[in-house]
A and B are shown apart, each in its own frame.
Chain A
Amino acid sequence: MTKIHYKVGVDVGGTNTDTVILDQNNNTIIAVKSPTTEDVQTGILNSLTKAIETSNIDKKLISFVSLGTTHATNAIIQRKGLSKTAVVRISLPAGKGVPPMSEWEDDLIKSIDAKVYMVHGGFEFDGKPLYLEDLDREECAKVLEEIKTQNFESLAVSSIFSPAKNDHEVKFAQHAKEILGDDFPVTLSSEIGSLGLLERENSAILNASVVGVARKAVQGLITSLEKMNVTSKIFFAQNDGTLMSVEQAINYPILTIGSGPTNSIRGAAYLSDEDNCIVADIGGTSTDVGILVNSFPRQSALAVEVGGVLTNFRMPDLISIGLGGGSIVKMDEDDNIQIGPESVGYQLKEKALAFGGDTLTVTDIALAAGIAQIDDEDCDVERLSNLDTDLIKEAISKIERIVLDACDKIKTSPDPLPIILVGGGNIVVPASEVLLKPENSGCANAIGAAIADASGEIDQLWSLDNKTRDEAIEEAKSVAMERAIEMGADSSDTKIVDIEAVPLSYLPGNVLRVQAKAAGSLKL
C-alpha cells in the first residue's frame, strides 16, 4: 500500500483563487475558493490556509504544492514592473532583414527600455555553422561590456536554428555570466519556443522582461509557505499541463501564462475519467473550447498573440466563441433567433429577465426550459412565464448547436469524442449522451494543477543523408524522454505522448522536421 500523502493544487483565476487537496490516490480531500487579490500572492496564501485548516491534514504529509499563478500575465498586460531588457540576436551574416521587435508597439518597447545587438553566429538547418563553429569571443565581450555599462536588468538571447542546435546561445550565456555576474538573468530562446525566429525571439524578450517580477513573486511565495510550516516541494503549473521547478519558474515565467485554461481542461478530463476528450469551459460572456489528446491539451500550431506580440511558445489550442451565461438572445430581421455574441456579462443579475431586468439572456432561456436552477432570492422564474415555448425550444437547440459546432471545429478526426462542460456558465447547456457535466467541476482548474506531470520536448530538422527516417524519429523520441526525466518525471512511467514527422516542402532533399513530446508523473 502506498503511504498516505497529499498533493495540493492552487489555481489563480480572474475572480477566485481555488485550492484542492488530493490524497495519494487522487481522491479529493477538500476544495475551497477564496477571492483573488490584486497582488495575487495574498489570495494564494488565503486560499491555501483555508484548505489546510479546514481539512486539518498533517502538513508534513504534503508531498508537493503545485501553483498556477498569473504574476507574469498581469505584468505583461499591465506593463508594470517590467525589466530593462537587452536583446541579442546571434545571426550575422544573416538576419538583418527584419530586426528584433519590428512589429512591437512603441510603448511596449519603451516600457522595457529595450536595445538590440546583433552578433555573428547561428546555424544552418543541418547544423553547419552560419559563420564560424564558435562565437567570436571579443565581439561578444564588447556587446556584453556595453550592456553592463547601460544598467540593463535582463538579457534575451536568440540565434538562428537554435531549436535544432543551441550551442551559440549557451556559449553566449556563459560569456554573459563572466561579464555580468552569475546572478544576471539570461533568457535563451531555445528554452522557450520552436522554429520561427521572430516569434521565438519575441517570446524570449517577453520572458526576459518579466523575470524580475517572477523572481520577487516566487521568492515571496516560498517565504510565506515556509512561515506556514509547509516545507514540501513546490512546483509551478505551465501552459502545456506539466510542472516546472522553482528555478525554472524564476527563469522562464512566460511558460506559466496559459496555465489557467490548461489546468481547467486537464482537471475536467480527470474528473470525467477521460484521456481523450473535448472540454468546453463556459463563462459569462464566452466559452473556451480545448481538446485533450492522450491526457494533454493539444498545443496551438499557430503563433499566439501575447500582449500584442506574436509568440510561439507552448500554449493550449483554444477556440473562443461568444456564448456564455450572459449572452443576449434576440430575433434578427428574418425572425431567426440570434444568440450572442453580445452579452450582459457580469451584469447578469441586473439585466437578465429572471432577475427583473429587461434583457433576454441565455440564462433566462435555460431557466425557462427547466435545465438550470439558480439558488438566489432575486431570481424568479415566474418572470419568464410569458416566454413562447417554441422560442425556448428553438433557442436551446441553437445553444446546443453552437457548442457542438465549436467542439467539432477543434477535432482533428471525425471519430466521436466525449464533450465535457465546465465553468459557471455550463448550467445553460443541457447534459446529454455526448455532453457531460462531471461533479465537482467547479474546482477542475485546481485539480488540473495538482495532477500535472513533468515533460520534455524537441522540435528539430534532421538531415536524412546519413540516417533513415525511422532513426531520426527514434533519436527525437529518446531526446524527449531524456528531457522529461531531467524535468523530474519518473523514468518508469515516462512515455511519448506526441510525435509528428513532416518533410520540408519546396525542398526535394532529405530534410525531416520531427516534433516529439514525452511526459510522466512526478518522481516523489
Chain B
Amino acid sequence: MSRLIDEKDIENIALGAAILGTGGGGDPHIGKLMAQQAIKEYGPVTLLEPNEVPDDALVVPVAMMGAPTVFIEKIPNGDETTKSLRRLEKYMGKKVYAVMPMECGGLNSTIPFVVAAQTGLPIVDADGMGRAFPELQMETFNVYDVSGTPMVVSDEKDNFVVIETQDNDMMEYLARGITIRMGGVGYIAHYTMTGKKMKSASIGYTTTLSMELGSILRSKDDNYVSPLDKMKKVLSTSDYGEPIGLFEAKIVDVDRSTEQGFAKGTVKLEGINDYTEKTYVVEFQNENLIAFEDDRPIVTVPDLITFLDLETFKPLTTESLRYGYRVLCLAIPTPSIMRTEKALKVWGPKYFGYDLPFVPVEERVMTND
C-alpha cells in the first residue's frame, strides 16, 4: 500500500539511511531541511511500493553528485534536480511516472523527496545501491543492464548538460568532470527505466527500512529493548540479512589519506566489554569497506559495515571517526541482488583494490563460532 511521507518521516529517513549509508554520503542535514521545506510548501509525498508501479511506466532516479563540502557552502535553490528531470523528459519526449533514490545514506536519501514534492510525482520505495557507494556505475541498475544515459546534469545557474555514452563507466567519467566545472556539485536525473525493469533491477523498500531504523534510534521507550534487537526485527522482514553486532571496541587510531577523490583511511580498534583482547581494523574509502578481526577479514564490501556510537547508537560517518570513540560495529548482509557474480565485479573487494574474495558476512561469522 502506498503511504504519505510528511516532514517528520523525513527526519527518520535521514537518520536511518545513515545506518545503511555505511559511513558515507556526506552530512544529511541540508538535504533533510530542503526536503522538509519542500513538503511544507507543496504537501506530503506519496511513497509507492515497487509492485504498485505499472510495468510500462517510466521511472527515473534522481540525485546530487559531487563534494558534500561544497554543498554545505553553495546551498542550491532547491529546484535544480527537478529541472534536470524536466529537461530529461523533454529530451526523451516522454512523461515520468515516478522518481526514485539512487542510494541510501547522506544527502541522496532526501533529495528525491524534494523533487517528488515539487513535481507532485510519487516516489518509489526502492533504490539502486541499498547502501552508499562513491560512483554512478555502482548501481544495481547498471549491473542489471539499465543504460545510465541519456543523463542530464545541471547546476544552480540553469546550465544543463545532456550525456549520451556507449557505456556507464564513460558516463561516470564524463559526469564527474562536468560536476567539477559546475563548481563541485551537479544535480542529476538518469538511469531511466520501465516499471518492469525497476522491479527486477533495484532493491525494494529501502526508504521504509530507513524510516523504521531512524524511528528506532529516535524512540525512547520505557520497556528497555536494545536497539540492536529492534533493528533485527525490522531487518528480518527485509531483503537484507539479520544484522550482526560484530564487536564493541574503542578506536585507537585513524589513519587518513586522500587519493583521487576518495577519502581513504584505516581505523584501528581495541575490543572492549565482551571483546577485550581482540583487535580490529576497518578500511574505508568514503564508505566502510572491509573489517578485519585479528588480521582475518570478517566483513567484505558490499556487505554493510556501520559504526554506531556505543552510548547514543547514533551512526557515525567516516569523517567523524576519531581516537577514543567507543563504538558498536554492526554488519548487515546485503540483499542477494548485490552479491551476484555480475554485481561483485562492479563493487566487490577487488574493485576497491583488495586482494580478497567476497564472503558473505553471515558465513564468516558462522565459521568463527
A residues lining the B interface (CB < 8 Å): 91, 93-98, 102-103, 122, 124-126, 128, 130, 160-161, 195-198, 302, 408-414, 461, 502-509, 511, 513
Contacts and interface: CB of A to CB of B under 8 A. Distances in A.
A89 to B, nearest CB: 9
Nearest to B156: A94
A511 B184 contact: yes
A197 B323 contact: no
Contact of B322 (A95, A412, A461, A504): A412
A116 to B, nearest CB: 13
A98 B37 contact: yes
Given A96-B78, A125-B70, A505 B156 contact: no
Q: Residue among B30, B69, B134, B250 with the most chain A CB within 10 A?
A: B69
Nearest to A310: B29
B174 interface: no
B184 A124 contact: yes
A503 B258 contact: yes
Interface residues of B, number: 45
B75 A505 contact: no
A97 B34 contact: yes
B226 interface: no
Contact of B67 (A103, A412, A505): A505
B261 interface: yes
B258 A506 contact: no
Contact of B34 (A93, A98, A505): A98
Given A409-B325, A414-B253, A98 B30 contact: yes
Given A91-B75, A161-B74, A505 B30 contact: no
Contacts of A126: 183
Contacts of B320: 302
Contacts of B69: 195, 461, 504-505, 513
B335 interface: no
Given A102-B33, A102-B37, A97 B258 contact: no
B273 to A, nearest CB: 13
| Pairs A-B, 5 closest by C-beta atoms | A97-B78, A508-B261, A503-B258, A94-B156, A505-B263
B1 to A, nearest CB: 31
11 contacts: A102-B37, A195-B72, A195-B73, A409-B326, A412-B322, A504-B258, A505-B319, A507-B67, A507-B70, A507-B184, A508-B260
Interface in B45-102: 65-70, 72-79
B326 to A, nearest CB: 8
B227 interface: no
Interface in B144-188: 156-158, 176, 179-180, 183-184
A509 B323 contact: no
B261 A408 contact: no
A98 B33 CA distance: 7
A509 B74 contact: no
A94 B77 contact: yes
B346 interface: no
A267 B45 CA distance: 55
Nearest to A512: B258
Contacts of B79: 97
Given A302-B320, A505-B67, 5 more contacts: A95-B75, A98-B75, A160-B73, A160-B74, A413-B323
Contacts of B180: 507, 509
Contacts of B156: 93-95
Contacts of A513: 69
Contact of B184 (A302, A408, A504): A504
Contacts of B76: 94-97
Contact of B73 (A161, A413, A506): A161
B262 interface: yes
Contacts of A161: 73-74
Contacts of A125: 70, 73-74, 183-184
A408 B72 CA distance: 31
Contact of B324 (A408, A507, A509, A511): A408
Contacts of B73: 125, 160-161, 195-197
